[in-house]
Structure 1
Amino acid sequence: MIKDRNLKIRVIEYFVRRNWYPHLEVNVLSQTQISAAPKLVTDIDALALAPEITGRFQIILGDCKTLKGQSGITRALWMKGLMEYFGAKKGLILLTKDIEKEHQLTANTFDVQLFSDNDFNFYSHATADYLEPLFSSLIDIDHWDRFMEIDKKFPRLKQLCEYARTNFWNDKISNFQVRSGLSILRVLKGELDPANKLHLSLVMHHYSLMAISLNQIITEVFTRYISLKTKDDLSNDLKIIIYGGIANYEYLNELRKRSSGNTIPDKDLALPEWDTFVELVRLVFENPMNFNILPLYLKELSFCFLSTDPTKYTYAKGISEKDKHTSNFALRLSEYLNKACGLPPEFHEVYSKAIVFGEY
């Protein structure tokens, strides 16, 4: 069960009310690995991805503690170090005790905000919309408990669960995230059952992570799209970005040909179902600046599958009603990932009903 749960869900609710993508309890690994297995160095209580004006995401970290023996500024200095290590732009710390004003002012100088209970209540209501009731599956702490415990019920899905709470967040390189995200689903496709609500939630959540990494690639490519006159131009550009630059792509492509033995591949190195992927990107280019809401939309749908009464949650519907592209993006991404990863077609069928009709 999640510790300091009441504090953490307040921060998550604030993130959701700001339309930021939220996650709880992210494990932070050492960036330099010398041991046989990756080592956990610390963890992040709450994390948000907030859209920048460019369409890309910036990372915001949240820390929620009931500590009595540690001063606010000590915690803020720890947060600043974590921000630097993790590449975050801002940190929020929510403590249950009162905080000295000098500590708050000092923390503000390095982009960390220290809040007591009362301070955060005032700040959150002043900077987010709390006037309207929020019917979101993401602000039910029991859903987070269920999500965090999926691998206890299904040990063979541990790799997928670890990707959601650890590996994805520690990669932080979008081109690798796209490839690794596809690879994990392709490996585990035989373990996934579209008749199981927990599996539906986990896979849809994975789609939301894929949408995050895809958003970062799309914002990078779109800035030069006006010079990409043909589909082939776009296809070549995407391959170069996804595989880490032209030199690395040519090296991997040549290595693939050499390792194929007597059978030389008919096509160059590319993601599975490459033509469908390129068509998806071309579709997103019709409204690229609004694609960054898709990860949040998919995560909301993911957590609806964890509920015994998902129809009471209207947050996803509200997102899709604000921009009709969102549901179309979701359908096309689901269709692509289902085909590219070889998942049972029932996954896409169930997701389509959730996206179009709100049926779970």
Structure 2
Amino acid sequence: MGKLDKDIHQKEMALRFCLVNEMIPFLEVNVQNYRELSDTLTVITDIDALGVQVGSSGLTRRVIFDCKTLKSTSPINRAFWAAGVMKFTNCDEAFIILSKKAGEAHRLSSKQIGVHLFDQSQFASYAESCSIDFRLDYSYSTNIQSWLKLNEAFVGNNALEQFLTFLNTDVPLEQDSVKSFRKILAAFRKVRGEFDPSKPKHRALYFYGLSVFGYVLSQIIYSIRNIVDFDADAKAFEKALKYYIWGGKDSFDLRNKLQHFQVAQSVLDGELKLKNWEGFIELCRNLMDSPSEIPKCVHPLREFCFQQIVDKNSGKDKHLKLAIEKSNRIRQFSSFMSSYLIGAADLPKDLNEYLDESFSTALQ
């Protein structure tokens, strides 16, 4: 039994709450030490579910969902735990789904520290007041079995299993979107030899990774839009983007010098650059036309992921079609992001063809 199998119904409720409230859900998010001081990475606790939402400023809102309460732990003590995790991870709010009701005094006290105590029935009623779709299994993402199958698909393949853990743990808790962006590129490059586009589960992992990439990129594009003038010429735009993506001019200069210390200058092509740099510049300019459309790509891409590994469902396929038809930017922007990512990480180009095929099939 995998770790996701515990408190499965409560985790599905957390997933659905995130989806109906336009948050991006992540399951089983491991919380690591602030700085690791040994050779072994340490998981200090875990978050059962985490919902993230990108605002128009590029900043994110993070909501913790805790789906287990030890019999020896009172609800208010669990709330204190959640408040500590919130502060440590810079999250904004927490929901604890209990097996039994908490007393009104505990619920009121917990709200003072940004934590909401609900039993399952109370949480379901609260979630349904946000959207009547909460109780419906209307998409592949609303069914916990889809998430279970994604995790189970890579048991035994250590490289891809670690890659999936990275997507679910490091990315949603990372505060610096630029750092997260660079780490995603490095992670994709590290496992690029593992991807076989002919295998459905490998396509599933790529689509899931692309959806997470879209989440991170949306933060970056929102920020760039608020920093760089729309009428900036190509040279000024590239310079600002270069310094931004490397953490500022000082950081860029330091990394550039280190690069030349480590590799003979004769084999370097000028200054430090991301792989497929020209493609990244073009990608940013294209996405800046409508940054609010980027987060809308995340859900369809994740649905394509689950379509590869679970049985098809006509009702869920219809919902996916309607979601894609809401904006012609979804397919366009997803294709832009995929083309850049494949070039930057040296992934098999067939993956882009499968993405295009998935969109065509979904819109039939």
Let me know the Cα RMSD of the aligned residues. 2.1
* Structure 1 segments unaligned to the other structure (5+ residues): none
Q: Which residue of 2 aligns with 1:226?
A: 229
SS at match of 2:294: helix
Provide the C-alpha distance between the structure 2 equivalents of 1:287 and 1:26, rounded to a whole number of angstroms.
Answer: 30
| Cα offset, 1:310, TM superposition | 5.4
1:356 pairs, out of 331, 335, 360, with 360
- Pair 1:3–1:311, CA change in 2 (3 A): same
- Pair 1:132–1:148, CA change in 2 (3 A): closer
* Structure 2 segments unaligned to the other structure (5+ residues): none
Q: Which residue of 2 aligns with 1:124?
A: 127
Quick check: 1:228–1:234 contact (8 Å CA) kept in 2?
no
Q: Which residue of 2 aligns with 1:18?
A: 21
Quick check: 2:149–2:310 contact (8 Å CA) kept in 1?
no
Q: Is 1:331 aligned to 2:331, yes or no?
A: no
| Cα offset, 1:56, TM superposition | 3.4
- Pair 1:171–1:14, CA change in 2 (3 A): closer
| Cα offset, 1:254, TM superposition | 2.1
SS at match of 2:264: coil
Q: Is 1:145 aligned to 2:166, yes or no?
A: no
Quick check: 2:17–2:134 contact (8 Å CA) kept in 1?
no
Q: Is 1:316 aligned to 2:320, yes or no?
A: yes
SS at match of 2:64: strand
Quick check: 1:207–1:334 contact (8 Å CA) kept in 2?
yes
Q: Quick one: which amino acid aligns to residue 355 of structure 2?
A: Y
1:245 pairs, out of 223, 243, 248, with 248
> Runs of 4+ in structure 1 displaced over 6 angstroms?
none
Q: Which residue of 2 aligns with 1:36?
A: 39
Q: Which residue of 2 aligns with 1:270?
A: 273
SS at match of 2:238: helix
| The 10-residue stretch of structure 1 (10-19 or 22-31) with the greater mean CA deviation from structure 2 | 10-19
Q: Which residue of 2 aligns with 1:294?
A: 297
Provide the C-alpha distance between the structure 1 equivalents of 2:29 and 2:338, rounded to a whole number of angstroms.
Answer: 25
Q: Is 1:94 aligned to 2:97, yes or no?
A: yes
Provide the C-alpha distance between the structure 1 equivalents of 2:115 and 2:67, rounded to a whole number of angstroms.
Answer: 13
Q: Quick one: which amino acid aligns to residue 125 of structure 1?
A: E
Identity %: 26
Provide the C-alpha distance between the structure 2 equivalents of 1:154 and 1:246, rounded to a whole number of angstroms.
Answer: 40
If the length of structure 2 is used for normalisation, what is the TM-score?
A: 0.92
1:341 pairs, out of 337, 342, 345, with 345
| Cα offset, 1:342, TM superposition | 1.3
Q: Which residue of 2 aligns with 1:68?
A: 71
Quick check: 1:301–1:316 contact (8 Å CA) kept in 2?
no
Q: Is 1:258 aligned to 2:261, yes or no?
A: yes
Aligned length: 360
| The 10-residue stretch of structure 1 (147-156 or 310-319) with the greater mean CA deviation from structure 2 | 310-319
| Cα offset, 1:92, TM superposition | 0.8
- Pair 1:342–1:264, CA change in 2 (3 A): closer
Q: Quick one: which amino acid aligns to residue 225 of structure 2?
A: F
- Pair 1:228–1:253, CA change in 2 (3 A): farther
Quick check: 2:69–2:78 contact (8 Å CA) kept in 1?
no
Q: Is 1:204 aligned to 2:207, yes or no?
A: yes
If the length of structure 1 is used for normalisation, what is the TM-score?
A: 0.93
2:184 pairs, out of 177, 181, 186, with 181
| Cα offset, 1:318, TM superposition | 2.9
